[in-house]
Structure 1
Amino acid sequence: MMVDLVRDSSGLEKVILTEPRGSSAQVLLYGGQVISWKNERGEELLFLSNKALFKPPKAIRGGIPICFPQFGSFGSLEQHGFARNRLWAIDTCPSPLPAANNTSTIDLILIPTEEDLKIWSRSFELRLRVSLGPGKLTLIPRVRNIDNKPFSFTFALHTYLSVSDISEVRVEGLETLDYFDNLLQKERFTEQADAITFDDEVDRVYLSTPTKIAVIDHEKKRTFELRKEGLPDAVVWNPWDKKAKAIPDFGDEEYKQMVCIEAAAIEHPIMIRPREEWKGRQELSTVSSSYFSGQLDPLRVLHG
């Protein structure tokens, strides 16, 4: 297992993780953001916009941005908080997490600056472990309260998945659940469809979701499996054509090649007392899907 620290063409430092079967991942210290995850065949599994700006303090469009201490506009801070546009460091402290066997792993840490404390006056340590294993990418975020009073926050791993054609994508595992519709002033609805499909803009926060969600890409005959812990909600987002044209760091047609499925804690903010620590987990993997009676069968993913 290999871990390399390099500087990319934009001047930003990034960690490159590789494993013997040939898969790889890239993690920027800026934002603590995974910007690439390739399988053993070199196929990119995460979406990164061709118009993404690698110029701090701009957030980077794609990969897996970290939304902390606020998701979206669910609070008084800037959209999605500030962790995604701060410079993180490699964490050299011994980790209490179990040793990540058979994986290539990096531990990062973000500590607030004086300017951050003016924006959000809570002292914290935000840590992130990124582990690459055969066919699997795992992120483990941890937030420690080093303040002298409790604080609460919302959180999301804003995962952009690469798909062949958004109109051929189904998301399963969220049926019958309640969700906030961000396109309708966060009004609450109940999902009526047997799967989420896309023919227009979607921006929803699904509540009290299962630990496993399947994202089925019919054209590539590939199913993404997302497993999560400590992150009870799930965000589903695709901007569709009109909003894509209005986003300056997003290509007009790129909405067809991406979908955001995000493990999150939004409806009920996480509260931690002094010296306490919260931990979440998101594990991404892929399985090949095969057609049966004209449909992909993800049941072995959801219930396996």
Structure 2
Amino acid sequence: MAAPPPSSPSPPPAAAAAATQQTQPQPQPQTPFYELVKGNSGLEKVLLRGTRGFSAEVYLYGAQVTSWKNDHAEELLFVSSKAIFKPPKAIRGGIPICFPQFGTHGNLEQHGFARNRLWTIDDNPPPLPVNPAIKSFVDLILRPSDEDLKIWPHSFEFRLRVALGPNGDLSLTSRIRNTNTDGRSFSYTFAYHTYFSVSDISEVRVEGLETMDYLDNLKGKERFTEQGDAIVFESEIDKVYLAAPSKIAIIDHEKKRTFVLTKEGLPDAVVWNPWDKKAKAMQDFGDGEYKHMLCVEPAAVEKPITLKPGEEWKGRLALSAVPSSYCSGQLDPLKVLQG
């Protein structure tokens, strides 16, 4: 009877584990795809790059988005050629963040102080649901300084995620938490003061705010109801539309482009253009630049947001730019408002 063939010696446990590690791919740490570089006046900014050439830039000063470009490298946001990139002046254009107030009230500076403070990159943010297809994003955080606490005596953490989607969409997600230890609530108003780049303000219309009530800041905040089937521009405008829908379209006839603005947690929408006289009076704004910009701003203005200690609020802005074309005198992609 033949002897059975000798069996191969078993590898030692350490060698077996090493072999297993070699054959199984190891999970790679997930890191946001951004680059920190020097911007204007030596201020640091974050570059976000997406697929097919999409890009965005975010200054740590003010956590302010100052550039959003499509796959043709066209700039979609407006920044004034006279913008001042030097603290304490806020940057004129892009997406300034208005917190803890929108407008001018009390001893706080206009539109609050978040837009002219230095934010830091948040390397360990709390979990935030995100589309796994989004690879390019950055998390920033702002906490009050001792000087801030003197003018607004409330402790908070303001976290902001700026993300560039795979189709070039831009999103900003804000989370504000009351970290007071004395049991006090606080209230604030808020806006993403978004400056869109347009071909000519006279060629632009805004859809989605029809029949809405608004406060007219040029008429002592008197309340009116929008009468037109769309908003068009022939003079200065500064209106706060109340209980505005979650989607608003900004249609640029000449560029055949529609911006779609989607908002969450922000009930109002501000529409602003300074027109010629006010533009000439602004130090950091070119005389004729009002023709090439329009602010449509998701906001919480009429009813302040109140947070108890430990409570957190979240507000989100998402922007996309889609082609649009004429069709019997109308622009056909208005269905984006229902999409």
TM-score class, shorter: over 0.9
Higher-strand-fraction structure: 1
TM-aligned CA deviation for residue 93 of structure 1: 2.1
**8 A Cα contact 1:37 1:45, kept in partner:** yes
Q: How does 1:101-112 map to 2 (within 5 A)?
A: 101-103=132-134, 104-112=136-144
Could you tell me which residue of structure 2 aligns to residue 278 of structure 1? 313
> Are the equivalent residues in 2 in contact too, given 1:216–1:298 (CA < 8 A)?
no
CA separation in 2, counterparts of 1:264 and 1:215? 17
Contact 1:18 1:25 in 2 (8 A): yes
For 1:159 and 1:132, the matched residues in 2 are separated by 16
1:164 aligned residue: 199
Q: 2:128 aligns with which of 97, 100, 105?
A: 97
Please state whether the residue corresponding to 1:10 is helix, strand or coil. helix
Task: Trace 1:16-27 onto structure 2 (pairs within 5 A).
Answer: 16-27=47-58
Offset at residue 189 of structure 1 (A) = 0.8
**Alpha-carbon deviation of 1:99?**
3.6
Answering whether residue 213 of structure 2 is matched by residue 182 of structure 1, we say no
The alignment status of 1:143 with 2:176, answered yes or no, reads: yes
Distance 1:62 1:142, change over 3 A: same
What letter corresponds to residue 178 of structure 1 in structure 2? D
Is residue 2:24 matched to residue 1:13?
A: no
Find the counterpart in structure 2 of residue 198 from structure 1: 233
1:82 corresponds to which of 102, 108, 113: 113
* Helix, strand or coil at the partner of 1:108: strand
8 Å Cα contact 2:77/2:94 also seen in 1: yes
Q: 1-side partners of 2:105 and 2:333: how far apart?
A: 32
Report if the CA contact (8 A) 1:170-1:196 is conserved: yes
Q: Distance in 1 between matches of 2:47 and 2:273?
A: 28
* Residue 60, structure 1, aligned to residue 91, structure 2: yes
Question: Is the 2:238–2:272 Cα contact (8 Å) retained in structure 1?
Answer: yes
For residues 79 and 253 of structure 1, the distance between their equivalents in structure 2, rounded to whole angstroms, comes to: 24
Distance 1:191 1:73 in 2: 25
Q: Aligned to 1:299, what secondary structure does the other structure show?
A: helix
Distance 2:276 2:47 in 1: 33
1:44 maps to which residue? Answer: 75
TM-score (norm 2): 0.88
Corresponding residue number in structure 2 for 1:260: 295
Aligned equivalents of 2:93 and 2:227: distance in 1? 29
Confirm or deny: 8 A CA contact 1:106 1:129 kept in the other structure: yes
Q: Deviations over 1:36-88 (max 9, x none)?
A: 00001100000000000001000000000000000012555211000000000
* Higher radius of gyration, 1 or 2: 2
**Letter of the aligned partner of 1:80 in structure 2?**
H
Choose which of 42, 48, 59 in structure 2 pairs with 1:28. 59
Quick check: 1:129 aligned with 2:129? no
The answer to whether the 8 Å contact 2:177/2:311 transfers is: yes
In the alignment, the residues of structure 2 paired with residue 31 and residue 267 of structure 1 have an alpha-carbon distance, to the nearest angstrom, of 24
Give the paired residue count: 304
Tell me which amino acid in the other structure corresponds to 1:146: T
Tell me, what secondary structure is at the counterpart of 2:66?
strand
Asked if the contact 1:214–1:298 (Cα under 8 Å) also holds between the matched residues in 2, the reply is no
Q: Greater CA deviation, 19-28 or 91-100?
A: 91-100
Question: Contact 2:107/2:151 (CA < 8 Å) preserved in 1?
Answer: no
2:86 partner amino acid: K
3-state DSSP of counterpart to 1:56: coil
Gap change, CA 1:297 and 1:73, over 3 Å in 2: farther
Separation of aligned partners in 1, 2:258 and 2:105: 31
CA distance in 2, matches of 1:286, 1:74: 35
Residue 304 of structure 2 is matched in structure 1 by: 269
Q: Which has a greater percent of helix?
A: 2
Give, as a single letter, the amino acid of the residue that structure 1 aligns with 2:322: V
- Provide the TM-score with structure 1 as the length reference: 0.98
Structure 1 range deviating more: 263-272 or 72-81: 72-81
**Whole-Å Cα distance in 1 between the matches of residues 132 and 44 of structure 2?**
25
How many angstroms apart in 2 are the aligned matches of 1:243 and 1:177? 26
- Encode CA deviations 1:117-143: one digit per residue, 9 max, x unaligned: 001001001111000012200000110
Corresponding position of 1:229: 264
Gaps of 5+ in 1: none
In the other structure, the counterpart of 2:323 is 288
What is the Cα deviation at residue 9 of structure 1? 3.9
1:249-297 Cα shifts (integer Å, max 9, x gaps): 0000000000000000011100111001000010000111111112213
Alignment of 1:201-220 (within 5 A): 201-220=236-255
Does the Cα contact within 8 Å between 2:40 and 2:85 map onto a contact in 1? no
Report the 3-state secondary structure (helix = DSSP H, G, I; strand = E; otherwise coil) of the residue aligned with 2:41: coil
Give the superposition deviation at 1:299.
2.4
- Residue 185 (structure 1) shift: 1.1
